[in-house]
Structures are given as structure tokens and as C-alpha cells.
Amino acid sequence: MSRVNAKVPEGFREIADASGFAAANGPWFEKVEGRRVWRGFLPGPQHANALGIVHGGMLAAFLDAALGSVVWRAIDRRCVTMRLTLDYLTPARVGDWIEATGELIGHDEHMAHVRGRLYGPRHDVLGGLGDFALLSTRRQLPVRS
Amino acid sequence: MTDDNPPEGFIRIDFDRGRPDPTFNTHIGPLYAKRGEKGTRDEFVMGVRVRPYMCNPAGGMHGGMMMSVADLVGTMGAGTLAGLRKFLPTVSMTFDFVAPAKIGDWVEGRAEIVRQTRSLLFSTIYLTVGEEKILRASSIAKIPSGDGPAFGKARLAREEAGATAQPSR
């Protein structure tokens, strides 16, 4: 764990209340400044595909969660993904710090639209566009995803 | 492994033959596949039993898990339908999360080839629980020239399923 944490940039803290899929594929880290959020993780062998690069499904899962967090930080609303469009730009390498961020491009009472990207130390890895359904403000989720 | 109780014909996919560490596909699995008659809807079917470590905090199959399976159906599955025996990197995917799946559900994934060019493979993917669609995905995969990146480790663990020896293709 200490070896992992040595590569985590300043300002990021581990998302402690992860469960299920997120816990099994973590740890994931987050940095928040005002209403902006960044997320990061350190891919290991368990995140790799047959070529030894990070699995596209893992990158998709991570960016999806990061975009959900973008919505939460921007407008204080929990959400679920309706549609996600991803462009795989370049491979992500095991051992590199991989980071994600995004911006809200619009929302109403029911939907939020987000643009985001995932990048490594050298270049962009994944571009994404997400449509999220906003949950009722009265609805409580047990823990964060 | 046996408590996954896959339906008849599904065999666990061994992604890690001879590898020291389990890769992502093994880590999130086990994942299963069934091969059916050529040209039918069941020519290639991927299957997975939803377990707690595949889930979101609401207790449903995590979107990331659905996307990981769909990604694989769009490369390994569609590649198999196209008769391609090489690693196909994903170029682009769009996912519509149309319904949830819950712990214990048996989820199946099928691909349909929309068009194959010299260098790209377009496919539509559905994940289903029984007759209900839970995810629709649209995939573009790259078909590498030549043999592509070294690949070919994944295969069906037939001996584990007690199946008699048969040609893998």
C-alpha cells in the first residue's frame, strides 16, 4: 500500500467507502477543488488485458464513475448512467498514474450531460460523453459509487 | 466456481493460460462462453453469473462490469463471428443502460456484426437476462494488419467442464 501511495499525487485521497465492483477493482482516489473533481488510480496486473495494457472495460468503469462524481460535485445530485460514449485514443500502461476529469455541459431537472477524459502521464487515453439520469433529491443512496 | 451453475453448454473461459498473474477478465469473472451453430444467434454467447463483487452499492450489476463484458463481446465475440483469430483493440463504444441486473442473475452477451471492413469491425451488442435486454452497446473494433499483437491465450476450459476432447475451432 505504501508503494502505491507514493505514486498518488498530492491532494488525492482514497475513496474509502467503496464496495462491490469498485472495491474489487480499487483503490480509487479523488481530489476535489470547489465544484471540480479529479479521480485517479494506479493500474496493476489485475487491471491488464492479454496485451499487458489496461483493459478497456476497466477504463470505461473508471471514467463512468468519475463522470458521475463530476455531476455530484457540480450540482449536488446523485445520478445513474443512461448512456456513455467512449473513444479509445491510446493504451494506458500498468504502473502509470491514470487520471480522469470532466465538466458538466448541461442539465435540467432529470438529466445531466457530461464531457470527460482519462489521461496518463504522456497523453489522453480515453474520451467520453455521458448522459446521466438524476435521482430524486429525496432519495438516499447507501454509499457512494 | 461450480456455484455459478452455468446453463448447459457454457464453459469457463481460461484467459490466463500460463500467466503468473490473473488478468482483468479473470479478476472480474469467472466468465463463460457457449459456441453454437454457425450463422445462428447463439454462434457465440458470453455468460456471467452476477456476484456481489460485480455490483454497485445499490446491489445491481455495476455499469463498469456490464461495459467490461460488452467490450469483450464486441472484440472476442464479434471477432469470432467474423472468423478472426487475433486481438482486436477497441476503438469506440457507446453503451445504453436500459435495465439493471441483480445478484444471482445469469447475464448473456451476444454480438451482431453490422459491417466488416479491411481494418474495422462494427458490431451491435446486447446483454440480456432471460428475454430482457439490460444493455445495448455499439462497438467499433480495429482489425490489425497481419497477425496483430501477440494473442491467442484465451480458450474454453473444456477439460474442467468434463467435456470430451474436441477441436477448439
Q: pLDDT per residue over A68-112, tens digit each?
A: 999 999 999 999 999 999 999 999 999 999 999 999 999 999 999
Name the residue range of residue B9's domain.
2-156
**A81: which chain B residues are within 8 Å (Cβ-Cβ)?**
63, 95, 97
Q: Residue B152's closest chain A neighbor by CA? A: A50
Q: pLDDT per residue over A26-56, tens digit each?
A: 899 999 999 999 999 999 999 999 888 999 9
- pLDDT > 90 fraction of chain B, expressed in percent and rounded: 69
Query: Has residue B34 been placed in a domain?
Result: yes
Query: Has residue B164 been placed in a domain?
Result: no
Amino acid at B13: I
Query: Has residue B165 been placed in a domain?
Result: no
Q: What is the SS3 assignment for A6?
A: helix
Q: Residue A52's closest chain B neighbor by CA? A: B23
Q: pLDDT per residue over A2-30, tens digit each?
A: 455 778 999 999 998 888 999 999 899 99
Nearby residues of A135 by Cβ (< 8 Å), 6 or more positions away: A77, A78, A79, A80, A141
Query: Has residue A142 been placed in a domain?
Result: no
Number of domains in chain B: 1
Please state the ipTM of this predicted complex.
0.86
**The domain spanning residue A94 has which CATH number?**
3.10.129.10
- Does the distance separating the beta carbons of A85 and B68 come in below 8 Å? no
Residue A79 φ then ψ, to 5°? -150, 165
Query: Has residue B72 been placed in a domain?
Result: yes
User: Does residue B86 have a pLDDT over 90?
Assistant: no
State the Cα–Cα distance between residues A45 and B2, nearest whole angstrom. Answer: 26
Work out the angle at residue B24's Cα, subtended by the Cα atoms of residues B21 and B27, and round it to the nearest 5 degrees: 75
The pTM (predicted TM-score) of the whole model is 0.88
**The domain spanning residue B60 has which CATH number?**
3.10.129.10
Q: Residue B15's closest chain A neighbor by CA? A: A50
- Does the distance separating the beta carbons of A83 and B94 come in below 8 Å? yes
B167 CB-side CA count, 13 A:
1
Q: How far is B18 from chain A (nearest CA, A)?
A: 12
Q: Mutation test of the interface with chain B: which of A17, A25, A82, A87, choosing the one with the most B Cβ atoms within 10 A?
A: A25
Q: pLDDT per residue over B4-49, tens digit each?
A: 999 999 999 988 887 778 889 899 989 999 999 998 899 999 999 9
pLDDT at B166: 45
Query: Has residue B9 been placed in a domain?
Result: yes
Number of domains in chain A: 1
Q: What would the grid cell of residue B124 be? A: 451491435
State the Cα–Cα distance between residues B124 and B140, nearest whole angstrom. Answer: 9
Query: Has residue A139 been placed in a domain?
Result: no
